[in-house]
A and B are shown apart, each in its own frame.
Chain A
Amino acid sequence: MSNVELTSADLTSAQPARRVEGPESAGSVRADLRFFSNELRITFFRRRNQLLLVVAALFPLLIGIGLKAAAPHGGGGGNGPGSGSAAFFNQLAGNGVFLTFIALSLLLILVLPVLVAVVAGDSIAGEAGYGTLRYLLAVPAGRTRLLIVKYATILVWCVAAVFIVSAIALIVGAVLFPVGPVTLLSGDTVSLGAGLVRVLLVTLYICAAMAAIGAIGLAISTFTEHSIGAIAALMILIVTSEVVDTIPQFAVVAPYLPTHWWSSFDALLRTPVDTTTLAHGLLSFAVYAVLFFLIAWARFTSSDVTS
């Protein structure tokens, strides 16, 4: 197969088709969407990424089964690990919906950031490592356009990862635990429907948190050709931020840390909802996302591609 003879007859008969549109054609939005959907396909069809999503989906199942086994019959007082999530654990025995909050708050510490870091850290560095970056730019994909497509794909990836965890947790919770009107952390009880809306809002809030670190990962990714380096750097950054956040002496800088507002989603589980805290969190995520996308852009559009 490697030695197919190239006869001149083959060469003349197989002319590439003529282009139908000029470079500045009106179909450019469609062309951008085509590039984006191809990027999504490559990302979601890649075996490594599919495995990551499967692993992410297994966690809520494990947590649900574990808590079911540990929970005493008759409700009340499960022994949840970690004081921060203790309130959720106490609620779980009464309502399966709470498995979503438990799963998200546990996976938020490490598993979801790893998922985001792998795809975000790989985004540019992976292309550079394979050498495909120079060919994409020679196509030409356009540097800014490529960066936008990459970040848009990271956003979709974040949403997919968080929603998969959320959805599996909801299903597992409904199967293993009773489901009904949801008693919030503040003691009020809302209908199941209203409770599910809160699940959706919490999920979206965490998507925003992941989108912010996705931008940091994208920025780091433009500085190296080794995706593993970019992935590791982002994880170190996140863990450092989480550690610093727990040290009281650093309380002054805590609100500016990228991870500080992550667990603030529990504001959505109280009445009235503490919108100020949520707004601070969302603002922090937005600032991080914009700032680091700009860093990525400044770096990527000004540096030589040497890979």
Chain B
Amino acid sequence: MIETTDNGPELAIASSGLTKRFRGGQLAVDQVDLAVPRGSVYGFLGPNGSGKTTTIRMLLGLAYPTSGSAQVLGVPMPEGAVRVLSRVGSLVEGPAFYPYLSGWDNLARYDAADRSVSARTARARIEAALDRVGLAAAAKKKFRNYSLGMKQRLAIAAALLVERDLIVLDEPTNGLDPQGTREVRALIRQIAADGITVFVSSHLLAEVEQVSTHVGVMRTGKLVFQGELGALRRTAAPRIAVRTPDLTAAAEVMKKLGLADPVAGDDAITAELGDVQPESVTAELVHAGVAVRALTVESPSLEDLFVGLTGEGFDVER
């Protein structure tokens, strides 16, 4: 358990054994132990339906865990929701606003509901938040007339209405065009530069790998990896690939060098490189008289690792 100190806990989000079983019996979140360090940008990854949103709902006190516990900024949830959530900005499962109100009135609505802020500063805060996401010009427009991207930005503006210690963004780039995606990424960097912890979920690794310092990977309700992004990269074992007509001879050389997991194809053979230097493999192959047409070292991309952890796209696992 993380104790609250005067300086605040070192973890912005901590959970232990967090579990949610729906009434139908389906296990949506299974024993998740999150550890999100303060000041980090934590990419919460996993395919759709892997339990990310349910986890976030529990962290925000919207859903009650079946078992396990969670702390946000050192405050236990969901009991401490009213105490801590004014320091947490959030975007959960897409933007939601009143279609018959303008962007400005929508933000004023959420602001009015917050008992931790003063009405006197509301105007300035709403203006600043709209400005920050580039919606100042559309402030008086009705929400129902906003484009998808504008809706998404308004939701981010709502998350930034008050000065926060933690921002939770659930799929913030859903439905955005590439430019919008880039803008959101720039916004996340900016928020993080202010020292605010960002917890951002996505089903696309590419979306968060450029901004994240830490990642957690979900698969069918379980947290299958958690750590620094670099640590995930390091789990990848580089492989050497040799294109050659002499597959048998090449395999023998690799075996002699102690390369693990050799896989022979039609005209190439690959194996895990391990500690062996690629140039010594080249030398040995040439020495053994193997006709080498091409030799490459392949490090699996983060995307490959991610797919390895979460399974291929279309296999429904439950």
Contact = CB atoms under 8 A, between A and B. Distances in A.
Given A16-B162, A38-B112, A38-B113, A6 B128 contact: no
A135 B186 CA distance: 24
Given A38-B109, A132-B96, A139-B110, A16 B129 contact: yes
Contacts of A304: 57, 62-64
A4 B110 contact: no
Contact of B118 (A3, A14, A20): A20
B97 A130 contact: yes
B72 to A, nearest CB: 11
B158 interface: yes
Contacts of A86: none
Give the interface size bracket for A toward B: 35 or more
A22 B117 CA distance: 8
Interface string A1-44: 11111101011101111111111010110111011011000100
B60 interface: yes
Interface residues of B, number: 60
Contacts of B242: none
Contacts of A139: 85-86, 110, 113-114
B179 interface: yes
Contacts of A15: 128, 194
A10 B129 CA distance: 11
A139 B114 CA distance: 6
Contacts of B97: 130, 132
B190 A23 contact: no
Contacts of B149: 2-3
A16 B88 contact: no
Given A4-B135, A6-B186, A140 B114 contact: yes
A83 interface: no
Contact of B115 (A11, A14, A17, A28): A28
Nearest to A146: B113
Contacts of A136: 110, 113
Interface string B242-273: 00000000000000000000000000000000
Given A27-B118, A35-B112, A140 B96 contact: no
B161 A16 contact: yes
Given A11-B187, A131-B93, A2 B116 contact: no
A68 interface: no
A51 to B, nearest CB: 13
B154 to A, nearest CB: 11
A239 to B, nearest CB: 29
Contact of A14 (B64, B92, B99, B131): B131
Contacts of B292: none
Nearest to A25: B116
Nearest to B148: A2
A42 B125 CA distance: 20
Nearest to B87: A23
Interface in A287-307: 302, 304-306
A215 B93 CA distance: 30
A18 B113 contact: no
Interface in B133-160: 133-135, 137-138, 147, 149-150, 158, 160
Interface string B163-190: 1000000000000000100010011001
A127 to B, nearest CB: 9
Nearest to A36: B112
Interface in A222-281: none
Interface in A105-138: 130-132, 134-138
B132 interface: yes
Contacts of A23: 82-83, 86, 115-116
A19 B160 CA distance: 12
A73 interface: no
B238 interface: no
A233 B7 CA distance: 52
Interface of A: 1-6, 8, 10-12, 14-23, 25, 27-28, 30-32, 34-35, 37-38, 42, 46-47, 130-132, 134-142, 145-146, 302, 304-306
Given A11-B132, A134-B92, A138-B92, 16 more contacts: A6-B186, A16-B132, A17-B163, A20-B117, A20-B120, A23-B115, A34-B119, A42-B98, A131-B93, A131-B96, A134-B93, A138-B90, A140-B86, A140-B114, A142-B81, A305-B63
29 contacts: A4-B134, A5-B134, A6-B133, A6-B187, A15-B194, A16-B161, A17-B124, A19-B116, A19-B118, A20-B117, A21-B116, A21-B117, A23-B82, A34-B112, A35-B112, A35-B113, A38-B108, A42-B98, A42-B101, A42-B109, A47-B100, A130-B99, A134-B93, A136-B110, A137-B61, A138-B60, A138-B88, A138-B90, A141-B114
Nearest 9 pairs of A and B residues by beta carbon: A131-B96, A4-B134, A38-B112, A31-B115, A140-B85, A304-B63, A141-B113, A14-B131, A23-B116
Interface of B: 57, 60-64, 81-83, 85-86, 88, 90, 92-94, 96-101, 108-110, 112-121, 124-125, 128-129, 131-135, 137-138, 147, 149-150, 158, 160-163, 179, 183, 186-187, 190, 194
